[in-house]
């Protein structure tokens, strides 16, 4: 048997690629914890909005991040986020929070403030961590890395349906515009820009469903963690 790689699986990719769904599903299948690191940035963005802090004010956002009382509870069903002891998980997918999250996540001080927490959560092992820079920055030695992508149109269609199911109004065109803007911001930010790790398994889910992607992931997991020496 080969030396056991770190029991961390990372799933990176652009907004709307299905990272949360696949991370939750894979974690549930493996009976591992699911860590939605994007939820940490969304929690900070929500705190900015609730406290009247401009997400575009770098100094103010970084100061808030440094002092934010944030608790994270990864579970196989998902990641529960508490800010100042209040469960804010249900509010983190609101469109305004998504926009603010894209802004605050670009600030170096914000990313530095949350990096230690993310790594601390990963140290427990048996974690499926999803985000934008899990395999490149946060957990560069993870045992298995995925980069999940899809066309902007497919991602907009999925996100629009998700919002409609939650009772959030909006057109698919506006969702697509938000996704394209988020893609540009994620790719061009100076700190931890969105890109696949060289050793990541890239999966394009434009034309395949969750079950098909999950099969690819499970097979890659078996190959990585249970491969035998020749």
Position 176 scores a pLDDT of 93
Position 225 scores a pLDDT of 86
Q: What is the pTM of this model?
A: 0.84
> With contact defined as beta carbons under 8 Å apart, do 155 and 136 qualify?
no
**Strand 201-204 and strand 8-12: pairing?**
unpaired
Which three-class secondary structure state does DSSP give residue 148?
A: strand
Domain extents for the chain?
8-221
Q: Quote the CA–CA distance of 38 and 102 in Å, as a whole number.
A: 10
**Strand 8-12 and strand 127-131: pairing?**
parallel
**Mean pLDDT in residue range 31-39:** 88
Q: What is the pLDDT of residues 72-120, one digit of tens each?
A: 887 666 678 999 889 999 999 888 998 899 899 889 999 999 998 889 8
Q: CATH number for the 8-221 domain, one of 3.30.565.10, 3.40.50.300, 3.40.50.620, 3.30.70.270?
A: 3.40.50.300
């Amino acid at each position: 048997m080969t030396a056991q790689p770190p029991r961390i699986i990372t799933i990176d990719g652009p907004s709307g690629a299905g990272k949360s769904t696949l991370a939750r599903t894979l974690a549930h299948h493996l009976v591992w914890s699911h860590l939605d690191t994007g939820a940490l940035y969304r929690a900070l963005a929500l705190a900015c909005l609730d406290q009247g802090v401009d997400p575009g004010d770098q100094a103010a956002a970084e100061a808030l991040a440094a002092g934010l009382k944030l608790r994270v509870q990864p579970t196989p069903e998902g990641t529960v986020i508490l800010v100042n002891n209040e469960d804010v998980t249900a509010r983190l997918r609101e469109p305004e929070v998504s926009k603010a999250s894209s802004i605050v996540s670009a600030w170096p001080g914000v990313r530095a403030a949350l990096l230690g927490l993310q790594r601390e959560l990963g140290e427990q092992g048996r974690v499926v961590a999803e985000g934008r820079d899990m395999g490149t920055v946060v957990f560069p030695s993870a045992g298995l890395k995925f980069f999940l992508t899809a066309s902007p149109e497919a991602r907009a269609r999925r996100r629009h349906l998700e919002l409609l199911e939650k009772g959030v109004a909006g057109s698919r065109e506006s969702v697509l515009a938000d996704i394209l803007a988020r893609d540009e911001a994620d790719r061009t930010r100076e700190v931890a820009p969105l890109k696949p790790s060289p050793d990541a398994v890239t999966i394009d889910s434009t034309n395949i469903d969750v079950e098909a992607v999950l099969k690819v992931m499970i097979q890659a997991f078996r190959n990585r963690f249970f491969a035998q020496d020749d």
